[in-house]
Amino acid sequence: MEFNELKAITEGLLFASGDEGITIKQLARVLNIPEQTIEQLLEKLKYDYNNTERGILLMQSHDVFHLTTKPEHSPYFKRLLETPQTARMSQAALETLAIVAYQQPITRTEIEDIRGVKSDRPVQTLMARSLIEEIGRKEGSGRPMLFATTKDFLTFFGLTSLEELPPLPEGIDTDQLEQETDLFFEKFTEHMDDTDYK
């Protein structure tokens, strides 16, 4: 296989690895070539990104390599997030997101019990935006899927951990599901209004 073809495949593997990134050992195993060749491929990619008008960079964090956007382009990414087409979510989606954030891990049925309505579409919307994800199945009858928030959720709302979520008032009666939903939604939207990613 030619060097340029290997470089193209390496670039694709870096892209496919996403935020998790990929190591030289992993690349060498997948491509079935020596690690020294992988190092040369990565150096060539790094050179290409740094010396042409490209929108991405090759970053290295310890032994892990991943692609990222150029810092000088960040105002445009912020603007993208602020456009109504990409940033606006329905009240149902925000309400569902707040419930998942405070009650995770949680099943779709449990979400619907709290909201009082079917939640298939809001859950699909949140998964499509990578704000929630499936993390396994609950023990018991039917083994329903469990949902939780993602790393993108934290990034989107400017949080470093779930501990930074605004606290709910003490003494919530969890049996009063309608009131609980209102509290979730109110607190969550208040926090969203305090972030730059409205």
> Per residue in 142-166, pLDDT tens?
888 999 999 888 887 777 888 888 7
How much is the pTM? 0.47
Least confident interval from 24-38, 70-84, 138-152 = 70-84
3-state secondary structure of 5: helix
What ranges make up the beta strands (E) of the chain? 22-23, 56-61, 64-69, 106-107, 132-137, 145-149
> Which residue, chain included where needed, has tokens 């690349």?
27
Structure confidence by residue, pLDDT tens digits, 168-178:
655 554 454 44
- Residue 198: what pLDDT? 38
Contacts of 93 (CB under 8 A, 6+ apart): 122, 125, 126
Segment 62-83 shows an average pLDDT of 80
Distance CA(147)–CA(105), nearest Å, equals 5
Q: Is the pLDDT of residue 77 over 80?
A: no
Which percentage of the chain shows pLDDT scores above 70? 80
- Residue 83: what pLDDT? 61
Question: Domains along the chain?
Answer: 3-69 (1.10.10.10), 80-193 (1.10.10.10)
Going across the sheet that includes 132-137, the strands are 106-107, 145-149, 132-137
For residue 100, the Cα-to-chain-centroid distance in whole angstroms is 14
Q: One-letter amino acid identity for 32? A: N
